[in-house]
Structure formats: C-alpha cells, structure tokens
Amino acid sequence: MGKGSKRKHQKKIDESIDSESETQTQGLTTLLDPPKPKKARKVVPDSDLCLVGPPIAPADARQRWPHRYQSKNKVKKQAVTEASNDEENEVLQARNHYVEAIVDGCRYKLGDNAYVKAEDGNLDYIARIVEFFETVDQEPFFKAQWFYRAEDTVINKDNAHLIDKRRVFLSDIHDDNPLNCIISKVEIAEVAPDNDSAAKESRIPDSGLYYNMKYSLQHLTFKNIFTETSKKDNGTSSVVSSECGSNNTSSEVQRFDKSQKYLLDLYSGCGAMSTGLCMGSSLAGIKLVTKWAVDINSFACKSLQWNHPETKVRNEAAEDFLCLLKEWEKLCQKFSLLEPNKPSETVSSETVHWWILVLWKGYDKSYDTWEPIEGLSNCEERLKEFVSKGYKSNILPLPGSVYFICGGPPCQGVSGFNRFRNSNAPLEDVKNKQLVVYMDTIEHLKPRYVLTENVVDILKFAKGFLGRYAVGRLVSMNYQARMGMMAAGSYGVPQFRMRVFLWGSHPSERLPQYPLPTHEVFSRGGVPIEFEEIHVTYDKKDSCQLESALTLTDAISDLPQVNNDESRDQRNYGTTARTEFQKFIRLRRKDVINLTVDSRHAPSLGMLCDHQPLQLNPDDYDRVCHIPKKKGANFRDLPGVVVGENNRVEWDTTMDRVLLKSGKPLVPDYAMKFVKGRSTKPFGRLWMDEIVNTVVTRAEPHNQTVIHPSQNRVLTIRENARLQGFPDCYKLFGTIKERYADFILW
C-alpha cells in the first residue's frame, strides 16, 4: 500500500507499528506497485540534483540515524514480516546526512512535502521528506513518509467519493528513494479534525491538500494527529465539540450527566451487544446505560424490555426510527428547546406524518385515539407540555445526547446462501440498505463512540465493498476508525464465532484498541487475505501463556437432563455448578453487573429458564436416535451411507435404503447432497471436549452440528444462550423458535 521505491522495483514495503515515535519498518504487502526509480546520480556540487549545505555533524547524524552507520558485518536488516515470506532488505548505509537538497533547481528542506514520480498513467505519489543522505556509493537519497489518498487506503477507489478529494492521510510507512524521484514541492495543511468548514477552508493552501488524520496498516486505522494546539480530552468532559461532521449546529451539545453515559443499541436483538458493553464499562468505572434500543423483532424487544426495564425499547424498523428522530428534533426546535439548525444542503424526498396518542380529558383510556399532529393546532400548550416532558426525560435521542451507538446492521445481501447477490452494486440490494441507515443514524446523532459488529462475509463479498463503505462513512464524518477481527472463543466464550468489528470515535476522544486474546483457540481459517492486518492476535515472536479454550463441558455439564418434548419454561436446577464458568453464569440477578431487579423478576429468581429444546418432528427425532453417541458422529454413521473418493458420501449399493416408521428414508436426500456430499454437519452430534463453532438462529439439525453429546435432542435455548455468554437470569420471550433467534445478532 505504500508508494515510492528503493533501489529495485519491489512489492514489499515497510510499516511502522509504533505510531507514537519515529519508526523503523516491519513490512506488509503493497496494494499498489511502487514506481520504478530513475537511476540515481552521483553527488555533484552545484548541479540541479544535489544535497546542499554542510553535512550534519557526524556525531549528530550517528545519534539520529545509527542504523545508517554500521560496519559492514553489522549492517541491520529490515525484515518483511509477511507470514509466508522471510525476505529481508539491507538498510542503505550513509556517508553523510544533510538538511537540504536541490532537485531541478528547487530547494527542499527536511519536513517539506513533495510529489514523487509514479508509474505512467497514475497520479504522482505524495510524501513528506524526513531524511536526506548520501550513500557510501555517493548516491543521493531521501527517506519518504507517505501520504495516502482515500483510494490508497482500505476505503478503496470504489468508496473514495465519500472523502473530500483534497483530503490526504499521513501514513506511518517510510522507505528510501533516489533523490531524482522527487517531482515538485507541495504544501499540505494540517487541519484540526473538529474545525468548522470556514476555519478549514481558510487553512487549505492553493494546492488544495490538507490532512487531519494518520493512517496505519495495523488494523487499517484512521487516527487523529495531535499537535500542541490540538484539543485533547481526558474523556470526562460532558460537552462535545459541536463540529464532528461538516454540518453540525450549536444544538448538538451533550446533555447527559457526567455520572452516566447514554447508549443507543440499534438492531439490538434482545440486547446482547449493549449488555456486554455496559458490563465491561462498569468494570472500567464508567456508568454506561442503554437508554434506547431498536429492533424490528417484537419478541426480541419484549426480552430486552423485561431484562432492562430502564431502557426505552422501540419495536420498529431502523429507517422509521431515524425519520422519527429527525421530526422529534424539529419539534424540540419549534418549542425553543433546541436552537434551530442551519439550512440543510440536502432535502429529504420522504414525507413524514406525525401521529400522537391523545388522552381525552374526562374520558378513560378506552377513548384514547391517534391523531395527526396537523389536527392539534388548537392544543399548542398541551403539545408543548408533551414535547418539553419528553425532552427532559430523553424519550428519544437528539444530536449530542448519545454517548455510544452500537449495532450489527443486517446485511443478508452478502450471505453465501443468497444466490442473487449483487456484487457489482451491493448498496443497490435492499438487503444491504440497513448499513446505510445505520451510518445515517450515526451522522445524525453524532455520538462519542461507535462499535459495529458484522459477519466475516462483509469483507469477502464484492472485495469487501460494504466493510470499506462503513469505514469510509465514518472517516467522512471525521470519526477515527479501527477495524478488528476477533474470535469469541479467544476471550473465554465456549464457541469459536469469528466476527468483524469496527470502532469509531469522535475526534475529541481516544480511539480504543482491541483486547488481545486471553484463551487459546485453534484458528479455523476464514480471515480474508486482503484484511489479514485486522486479525487481533499475538505476534508470532511474542511468548504468552494463554488459558485453555472453554468447551461444552465447561458450559453446560451442570444442566439437568431434558427430553425432546420438554415443555417447562422454568424449573429448578437440581444440580450445582461444576466449573468457574458455570458459577459465573448462574449468578443471581442482583449479583450480575448492570442488571436491575424489580417486581417483574421475582417469579423467576433462582429458577432455570428457557431450558427447552426445539421439539423435533417424529422423523427427525427418529434420525437423531440413530446417531451414535460418540465423538464426530453424524449422518455418515447411518446404515446405507459410504464415504467415497474426495470425502464424498455415496449410497451403499449393497443394501436397500433404510426407512423410518413413517415410510420416509432414514437418510434424507438433502443430507447426501449438502455441500455436494462433502459436509459432515447434517445430524452431527457435538462432543463435550469440543468448542462449538458458531451458534446460529436455527436449531434444526438438517445442516448444522447441534445434537447434544449424550441426549437425543438438539441443544436447548438456555444451552445456546450460555454459549453466547448470557447469564442464566437473562430470560427470553416468544415461541421456542423465536427464542433461539433472540440472543443472536448474527
């Protein structure tokens, strides 16, 4: 991804891992080929290409660049750390260092920015000159620190239109180039990320280039560049800068109490992501409260409301919620609760109609009616009273009132099960539009922090278009951004579950790091090669002692036996906890961080809830009973099936097809055909010493390994909830099928 070249046309460049100090290169694969350099000339005084002025004092030069002054048998090597490549590049050795150079009659100083020759047909590269030196062969060289255009970053050319064309990003990539690669000088303004439009424009030079962020290949990170005059924030301030994006207004002021921060959970399910975030924040001494949650599934909303009575839960589509927020802001402005917005450059094509539930004076609730707001013109005082009360109670979030937004916007359009995926224009697929709605909501509310979760396919489909789009939208709003890919099993959860995460943080906040793994799980692949930099793991050179991965034994061995037709919603445990995980997961509600207790929770206190499996139909139950109780057992162990070449299943031609009592075949055709006969998942039995791969929303055993190790049934709702990390006191609502889906975002 870097630019420029060393003495040869190379496809490996070096990357600094430490963004806080002058860095030496570690090495990553380029996404753009560097230019073929001109042949460097010998240093000739007074020519149009030379290092000028007296050399830097040898002692000073050796102190600043010790790696340039090594004896021949001590020359340092710059390692390329690409996993499959052990290539090393020798560091150029210097005779002298200089502070100035002349190229084509133009004088350059250390710290100047310049265009650097690119391949024919490509835009010239942009670099900051950080070192001038003469090699031991008397060749003039400079060391470049590269600026990236948006299309050179993870945002890519397909989403570069989201970013101002004049905006560039200072990378932490450095490499050496012949002096005659320099084309011309360019001025690049450093602009504070929270500058308003007028202040920013006043600082941009005639060249039209500016930067306010640094870009690092490690986790494909966009991060603020802080100078002495830049605003720094310790995270405790209750007032946010009013310029997170380009169209902010003075009404966008944080209104939350310093003692607690408000979170909005979009696409919340039953609250998995927000519950975990609030628990973790409490351990860090931050009172993060899920103030609002939105989901289109009514059963998930009911589950969330029961477990979090303090949360305002809305059962509606996210796009409808966003329209409501915009209209609510207008109402608050109408009654002078907020300052009016500046005129917007964009006009919404949607017509929104407000309807308000009216309680008629002198009548009971049976007479309540929904009325259009236009028909309440004679009730201005009552309407103002309603809006003022809602404003004070934060009935709906307003720009600046939200500290944190989290969510996993569904992108069914990327799923491999979708045969009609639109890889040419992913955002034109209605199944992917929720990512746009999610980003539009962030742009409207301008929270301090954003955390987004999604499936790995978001980086595999259409060359990662949707993941790149998400990063581009955040950066276009001046949010810092950092990508990460983590397996849940690496952090003490008894399932592997690889997912992609995207942090976003306001310019005035620190951009969080991803936590390193605590438990050892074996990688199951799935990391796209183009995004290897975002995989959160230890460096191969690091030595660390990780805990063993949790297994089914750790998670569910204490739960009482149940049958396929178990009908009780709650029951006594009848057992004691056997592992540390079980002791934690069985904590009483009052002992679980960030869970409130009120009268509604009393009937279920101390009881085991949701320990029910999906009741299989008679045929499937009969098939499950035929699956041997041994490790790795599945439909291949049934009579009539043999495994042929290439690990494909075939019918045993020496025997008749075995039938069930119903007359249907014991081994269904779909099991034989699944993944062209190569899959071992249909009617697969789990084992107690295993870590589960990924819990899914469907409990049918037709194409998933979900059968209990020693009982003839699929895993229960509660067993699956434990694999997701939910405490036993977290009760779920809906049909059995709905409850399986409640606690799974993906």
Q: Are strands 449-454 and 480-487 parallel, antiparallel or unpaired?
A: unpaired
Closest to 449 (Cα-Cα) out of 397, 512, 398, 500: 512
Q: Are strands 188-190 and 209-211 parallel, antiparallel or unpaired?
A: parallel
Detail the DSSP E strand segments found in 342-479.
Answer: 355-358, 369-372, 404-407, 449-454
Which tokens in the block code for residue 461?
């489909």
CA distance 716 to 736: 9
Closest to 171 (Cα-Cα) out of 62, 67, 61, 31: 31
Q: How many CB atoms lie within 10 A of CB 355?
A: 12
Q: 221 pairs with which residues across the strands?
A: 216
Residue whose tokens read 């434990």: 722
Detail the DSSP E strand segments found in 104-164.
Answer: 106-109, 113-116, 125-135, 140-149
Q: What share of the chain is helix, strand, coil (3-state, %, to 5)?
A: 30, 20, 50
CA distance 140 to 101: 9
Query: What is the secondary structure of 26-52 as a DSSP string?
Result: --EE-SSPPPPPPPPPPP-TTSSEEEE
Tell me the CA distances in angstroms from 291 to 256, 262, 317, 452, 474, one per residue in order.
11, 6, 18, 18, 23
Which tokens in the block code for residue 106?
């133009």
Q: Are strands 312-315 and 188-190 parallel, antiparallel or unpaired?
A: unpaired
What is the rounded radius of gyration, in angstroms, for the C-alpha atoms of the chain? Answer: 31
H-run or E-run covering 318: helix 318-334
Three-class SS state of 330:
helix
Q: What b-and-e string marks burial along 259-295, b requiring 16 or more CB atoms within 10 Å of the CB?
A: eebbbbbbbbbbbbbbbebbbebeeeebebbbbbbbb
CA distance 580 to 414: 38
| Among 406, 411, 609, 729, the one annotated catalytic | 411
CA distance 187 to 111: 11
Could you confirm whether 332 is annotated as catalytic? no
Three-class SS state of 242:
coil
Beta-carbon contacts of 638 under 8 Å, excluding residues fewer than 6 positions away, are: 623, 626, 627, 658, 666, 667, 683
CA distance 495 to 705: 13
Three-class SS state of 448:
coil
Three-class SS state of 292:
strand
Three-class SS state of 224:
strand
CA distance 183 to 622: 76
Q: How many CB atoms lie within 10 A of CB 120?
A: 7
Which letter does DSSP use for residue 256 in this model?
A: S
CA distance 303 to 274: 13
Distance of CA 643 to the CA centre of its chain: 40
Amino acid at 427: L
Closest to 491 (Cα-Cα) out of 519, 460, 524: 519
Could you give the residue numbers annotated as active site?
411
